[in-house]
Amino acid sequence: MNLQSRNKVDTAFSMASMTDLIFLLLIFFMLTASFVTPSGLPVNLPTSVASTIEVQKVSVTVTKDLQIFVNDKRVNKTTLKDELKKELGGPQGVVVLHIDESVPTREMVFVAGVATSLEAKVSIATKPK
């Protein structure tokens, strides 16, 4: 005698809702991660009362021992303009300056002047108070 149930239980598991949840989490983390683009070099930034987030294309870092880095690549003062021109790719770019608070103002003005001569907008990175 063959005793089998007429109602078969489907053992397939639908992953549609799990995929939707993972997709939403992925979008959330991608959006929140793009708001903050930290510099990879250790620089003690000055504090500011009004601090806005600027989407950066080119990051110029000046360390406390006056070493200059463009997007984590070390350059000197003579090759700074050529490296910035190459990284910007044209006028109307954004250059974010990550300058240690102990660096003299003349160094910041020099780097900002080079970026301005290439018709780039210059923004100074600060820590919020």
Distance CA(76)–CA(122), nearest Å, equals 19
Distance CA(127)–CA(70), nearest Å, equals 20
Q: What is the pLDDT of residue 51?
A: 58
Strands 121-124 and 127-128 come out as unpaired
65-121 pLDDT, tens digit each: 889 998 888 998 889 888 888 888 776 778 888 888 888 889 889 998 988 888 888
Query: Is the overall model pTM greater than 0.75, yes or no?
Result: no
**Structural domain spans, the chain:** 47-128
Q: What is the CATH number of domain 47-128?
A: 3.30.420
Q: Which residues contact 60 (CB under 8 A, 6 or more apart)?
A: 68, 69, 70, 80, 84, 95, 96, 97, 98, 111, 115
